[in-house]
Amino acid sequence: MQGKTLYTILLSIIAVLTLALAVMVIFIFTAFNGAKAKPEEGEEIEKVERAVPQDEQAEYKLYSEESGEGIFNIKASEDHPNSFLMTSVSIIYDGGKKNRKLEKRKELLEKNDSLLKQATIKYFLSKSFEELSENNAMEEARKALKDAFNEIVSKDSEELIIIDVVIVKWMKQ
């Protein structure tokens, strides 16, 4: 009888130690993980931009109403106090490898449509007629809008899904 109780006690001790070891291993892997799951405040996630083949690219028209163009007020200047810009803005985005993420990313753009439009308005409102008349103004606008759009849609992602911003029309008045 005494052998069975000693055996039971030893078996219980082994079970408790095994459980304690398992809890310790889980704690070590979650608390001291080398790759941070979320960056600390003030830290930014390094964004990755991949080379996207032409067949994996898709287009999202930011202003898809009847005319497909947006009309933006621009910063007033002495020579042009009530100026505006009419332009057509399209976003070329990454559909994922073999277009597997195409629908998900289209929904992401549609969900953020108002924020994308707001960023476009904010950019053009900060520019004057003279600044938009410079030779490289359209190229600067494309780069600035691409960066702003990527910041909006890639908040929780490591991927930069906006490949390019296409400006078709550029009419200042």
d(CA 136, CA 48): 27
Least confident of 9-13, 44-48, 139-143, 145-149: 44-48
Distant-in-sequence, close-in-space partners of 134: CB < 8 Å, separation ≥ 6: none
Contact 112, 60 (CB under 8 A): no
| Residue 78 C-beta-side C-alpha neighbours within 13 Å | 0
For residue 37, being part of any structural domain is answered with no
Residue in this structure with the two tokens 């910063």, named with its chain if needed: 75
Q: What pLDDT score does 84 carry?
A: 85
Q: Which helix (H) or strand (E) holds 113?
A: helix 113-125
d(CA 131, CA 74): 10
Count of domains observed in the chain: 1
Chain-wide mean pLDDT for the chain? 82
For residue 168, being part of any structural domain is answered with yes
For residue 19, being part of any structural domain is answered with no
Q: What pLDDT score does 15 carry?
A: 94
Read off the DSSP letter of residue 43: -
For residue 139, being part of any structural domain is answered with yes
Residue 161's Cβ-count burial label (10 Å; 0-12, 13-18, 19+) is buried
Q: What pLDDT score does 158 carry?
A: 73
**Domain with 138 in it:** 54-172
For residue 35, being part of any structural domain is answered with no
Give the mean model confidence (pLDDT) for residues 85-89. Answer: 87
For residue 14, being part of any structural domain is answered with no
Q: What pLDDT score does 33 carry?
A: 67
CATH number at residue 106: 3.30.479.30
* Per-residue pLDDT tens digits for 19-59: 999 999 888 888 776 555 555 555 555 566 667 778 888 88
For residue 158, being part of any structural domain is answered with yes
For residue 160, being part of any structural domain is answered with yes
